[in-house]
Amino acid sequence: MNDMDDEFDVLLLIAVLMLFTPMMLYYTIPYFKGEVGGFDVQIDKTAMESNSEIVPTPRTVTTDDMLYMLLVADKYTPPPGKFRMVDGTELLEYEMNEEFFRNREAYLEEVRLTIPEYLPVDIHLQAGAADPEDPDDWSGWSGMQHWQVEVVR
C-alpha cells in the first residue's frame, strides 16, 4: 500500500510541475531580464521613458471655484459671512445674510457676468481695522472682517 501511495505522490508531483512550470517561466523571465519595476522601465513600447519622481503641483483656485463656494454657502456659513471680490479697480461686496440666500441666483449671476471664467484668484481671510480709510483705527474692530478674493493677473 505504501508503494502505491508513493507512486501516486510522484505522479501528482510531476503533474503539478507540468502545470505550473510554464506559468512560472512566463512570469519570471521578464523579471530576470530586468523588464519589471523601477522608474526607468519602459512599460509600453510607445511610452516615453521616464526617470523621475512624481511631483504634485498645487491646484490653482479659479473664479469658477469661488462661484461654487458661493453656491454651496448656506445660513450656517461661519463668520464673517461677508465676501469681497477685487478685480483691479472693480469691487463687488456681498453680505451673506437672509437677502443673499433668498436671491442667491441673482447675486451669482451678477458675479458671473462681472468676472470672467477661469481666472486664477487668491482667496484669504481679511482681518484688520474696521475703517479702511484709517488703517490705524482699531476701535471698531470686531474680529474677522471679510473673505477677500483677488484676481491674480
**Average pLDDT in the 126-130 region?**
64
| Residue 82: how many other CB atoms lie within 10 Å | 17
142 — pLDDT class (breaks 50, 70, 90): low
What is the Cα–Cα distance from 96 to 75, expressed in whole angstroms? 8
Identify the domain containing residue 67 by its residue range.
63-151
Domain boundary among 55, 75, 96: 55
Considering the domain architecture, whether residues 85 and 49 belong to the same structural domain is answered as no
pLDDT, residue 67, reads 85
Considering the domain architecture, whether residues 42 and 67 belong to the same structural domain is answered as no
Packing angle, helices 104-114 and 63-72, rounded to 10: 170
Tell me the three cell numbers of residue 11: 505522479
**Average pLDDT in the 114-124 region?**
82
What sign results for the dihedral spanned by CA atoms 35, 39, 43, 44?
negative
Is the pLDDT at 32 greater than 60? The verdict is yes
Considering the domain architecture, whether residues 28 and 49 belong to the same structural domain is answered as yes
What is the Cα–Cα distance from 102 to 95, expressed in whole angstroms? 12
Considering the domain architecture, whether residues 44 and 75 belong to the same structural domain is answered as no
Considering the domain architecture, whether residues 110 and 73 belong to the same structural domain is answered as yes
- What is the model's pTM? 0.51
